[in-house]
Chains A and B, each alone.
Chain A
């Protein structure tokens, strides 16, 4: 009888639902799983409506990485195929800038720690300090550019200088976007939004640390590829 053979199949389906598979409930305020499963840190569980932001920033960071990898692979191909590669001496200022950016990552984390300890004024202090360090970094990059121009090294001088300017310029543009995000987090009122301040700070921190790491990578690439 066909009716009886179909019953076990349907029961299996009910068990599937009980298991929950990978399906996430719609935006109903339920706490979903923590995306990273990182139990070491005191990471807050995100509601499903704010999980989308951390998924988005992760994918966006991979995308940005691909952008810089395309430039890096172009750099390596041209560098190693060329007999007439002119060395661009990296301004000393770049190392100081690197320290500034690394410091900003530390102050960012300090700010987030303050927030989790329910110290909003401490959070604001460190957060704005981070923003200031970020702007200081960009200013330092501009000064480094001017130093190179003073030596007569322009973007079109040779391929090495072109790559230097393109790398540092693209990174600075992305970093300014990060500064904008930091300012947004510090000035937006988070009471009425679906995302909490701590989640927004967390997502901004992913982006900022990524920019930090990316800069270190670019500096090493330019230094070793000199």
Chain B
């Protein structure tokens, strides 16, 4: 399908607000009759509930059951479902991919606020060490390190890996490819509970004494690796084998491509961390010496090559970790591309090249572990190679950026909160990515920057850009998840406060990082500049405190909308093209029913010339598409 940069304008401008479309043009919105035309009527009130007080939080549509047998279904293979299962079976023990996806999202929501609290403790302690803080008073160095480790583990593992991939992916991957369920539902449930157990282990590790704590931390990370491996296999097999009729690989939405590539990457990469964790646990519990500590080295003969032994851990860890950051980013790339295209009402510009770029990011992730080890004493020529490879990551990143900008070009942009977050992602990714180009240069990284530059860099790309993509996806899919809308005004206020806040927090960090190593100033000028470091740090901390409290707006919006938000009656409020929007909100158990949808076209058919509407959903057969007059 040729995707030109700017589509010709429609012959008839669309003046009607979206809510009326359903009734004016019934043919375009001919609801797909997959044998369950009346399922939409089954809402919360229809399902008898008892013990309302207990089930209050979980009687909302996200956890309601609409048994497939209640639909008009002629298939003899479909037996009537058993009576409604108990509370536990429906929520915590369910194998339904939608419930598991939501469970991951709740886990991530809890973890992100816990991680934010940790970061506040860190920042306050950094700038005002005298203040008595919970957990940090007692002032042992190890406590601060434990805080940093816990914050990082929570954010990278439980938020950035769990939310966009396991959370949204579990919920929407089967829906977007037209499958009824993931390939291995019970394995899915096991993965979720292993992830939850690893979160519990990480928290206990944080609270325990350092020696036990570190061992418990490593064991929890190993458990998380196992969970991610199983989840990755599940996603890969589902995408490979369970696509609906007509859903060929070129027609996959980019979100699915991102989840799929990410799943393959996960299955390859988490094994490495698992192996490294096993070796580390063996060191700690069985007294082996895979990663010998200094006192062991001191007892060795003088010819023992001491400096490279600890580097083994660095190699193993960074081989995993560099690919892990792409595991965190890939679903966000997919989500952003999807959102930008949907709300620009234009196809993704250079869609196939974007898919190749996503693959490129995945492949390159394997080749650049050395970029974290420039000053570790490796072979002196290796920084050149790694620097080159790391810089070449700019190529897929540039392709993605050009595609996003090209999609936005000349478009009738619908600037709702979801789109704001998507465009915010582009801004933050660009800002953070540019500093990455500097960091890829081996001479700069080794000599000229301190931790704060790097901290600013990776927080902009991973910490905030990825979070924006998750929030954008949440605002986009909230109607489908819960049948209600998030409040747009609160959402926009929250967006602008956060957007300004993250730049105020992380941009000065770049300056601080460069400053601590620069030698271009001397004498009194240097002293004057050095005197500014403290106030800048304080500024960052104050901005961080304000920004974290601004997230309260999001929390209020989210919780209020969950129970009292404006209900969304139509299935496709955003007028999107992908398959999940053909189902009721929230989708019933069994998703599409025994007969899956049939897919006739790609996922980004927006503003197609000659068609009455400005989008053509994937599932409409060509006869059903209404032409422009």
Contacts and interface: CB of A to CB of B under 8 A. Distances in A.
Interface of A: 2-7, 9-11, 13-14, 16-17, 21-27, 48, 51-52, 55-56, 59-60, 62-64, 66-68, 70-71, 74, 77-78, 81-84, 155-156, 158-159, 162, 166, 170
- Among B237, B282, B300, the most chain A Cβ lie within 10 Å of the Cβ of B237
B288 A83 contact: no
A17 B600 CA distance: 7
B242 interface: yes
A70 B316 contact: yes
A59 B237 contact: yes
A209 B267 CA distance: 21
Contact of B248 (A21, A63, A78, A156): A21
Nearest to A157: B288
B144 interface: no
A51 B596 CA distance: 18
Given A2-B609, A26-B596, A77-B312, A62 B267 contact: yes
Contacts of B216: none
B271 interface: yes
Nearest to B608: A6
Given A23-B248, A78-B290, 6 more contacts: A3-B628, A14-B600, A26-B245, A155-B288, A156-B286, A159-B289
A56 B305 contact: no
Contact of B279 (A4, A22, A166): A166
A156 B288 contact: yes
A84 B278 contact: no
B287 A156 contact: yes
A98 B248 CA distance: 45
B298 interface: no
B236 interface: yes
26 contacts: A2-B8, A2-B11, A2-B627, A2-B628, A4-B610, A6-B610, A10-B625, A16-B246, A21-B248, A24-B241, A26-B180, A55-B237, A56-B237, A59-B233, A59-B267, A66-B271, A67-B274, A68-B275, A74-B279, A77-B312, A78-B290, A83-B301, A84-B304, A155-B286, A159-B289, A162-B290
B610 A5 contact: yes
B312 A74 contact: yes
Interface in B247-295: 247-251, 264, 267-272, 274-276, 278-279, 282, 286-290
A23 B312 contact: no
Given A26-B596, A77-B315, A162-B282, A70 B245 contact: no
Given A26-B596, A155-B288, A166-B282, A71 B611 contact: no
B1 interface: yes
A32 B308 CA distance: 52
A59 B179 CA distance: 20
A59 B303 CA distance: 43
A48 B241 contact: yes
Contacts of A23: 243-248, 599
A22 B247 CA distance: 8
A62 to B, nearest CB: 7
A204 B304 CA distance: 46
B233 A60 contact: yes
A17 B300 contact: no
B233 A63 contact: yes
Interface string B1-40: 1000000100100000000000000000000000000000
Contacts of B503: none
Contacts of B184: 52, 56
A166 B247 CA distance: 45
B109 to A, nearest CB: 29
Interface string B148-189: 000000000000000000000000000000111001100000
A82 B608 CA distance: 66
A33 to B, nearest CB: 11
A63 B271 contact: yes
B304 A59 contact: no
A71 B180 CA distance: 39
Interface string B437-476: 0000000000000000000000000000000000000000
A3 B312 contact: no
B36 to A, nearest CB: 15
Interface in B405-442: none
A160 B178 CA distance: 52
A77 to B, nearest CB: 6
Q: Which 7 A-B pairs have the closest CB atoms?
A: A21-B248, A6-B610, A70-B275, A2-B610, A67-B271, A66-B271, A162-B288
A159 B282 CA distance: 12
A27 B237 CA distance: 14
- Among B236, B278, B608, B610, the most chain A Cβ lie within 10 Å of the Cβ of B610
A66 B300 contact: no
Contacts of B240: 52, 55
A123 B274 CA distance: 37
Contact of A3 (B241, B282, B627): B627
Contacts of B267: 59-60, 62-63, 66
Given A23-B248, A60-B233, A78 B312 contact: yes
A64 B32 CA distance: 43
B601 interface: yes
B80 interface: no
Contacts of B183: 52, 56
B248 A14 contact: no
Contacts of B304: 82-84
B312 A26 contact: no
A114 B289 CA distance: 49
B604 to A, nearest CB: 14
B212 to A, nearest CB: 20
Contact of A26 (B1, B178, B628): B178
Contacts of A67: 271-272, 274-275
Nearest to B182: A52
Contacts of A7: 610
A66 to B, nearest CB: 4
Given A62-B268, A155-B282, A25 B245 contact: yes
B242 A52 contact: yes
Contacts of A4: 610
A84 B289 contact: no
B286 to A, nearest CB: 5
A183 to B, nearest CB: 19
